[in-house]
Amino acid sequence: LVAAYRWATGQASEVLYDVGLWPPGSRALLCGALATSGIPFRMEGSELVVDKAHEAGVDTMVDRFEPRS
């Protein structure tokens, strides 16, 4: 998993999580948990994008649903 920051006018406003290697079911579980929690998100290709204000909560969910090898 790679988390990266998108810079808008010099400040991080969004966090990107690359979930492209996740199985579709794991991505669906994560997106469902985000929706249920009321955390706004969007998918841009294989990247999950959330507002930086929600980073801690999303990190916890990613840890919960990230596939283990």
The token pair that represents 69 in the structure block: 């090898």
CB 57 within 8 A of CB 48: no
Confidence of residue 13 (pLDDT cuts 50, 70, 90): confident
CB 38 within 8 A of CB 57: no
pLDDT digits (tens, 9 = 90+) for 14-63: 899 999 999 999 999 999 999 999 999 999 999 999 999 999 999 999 99
Q: pTM (2 decimals)?
A: 0.82
Residue 8: the pLDDT is 44
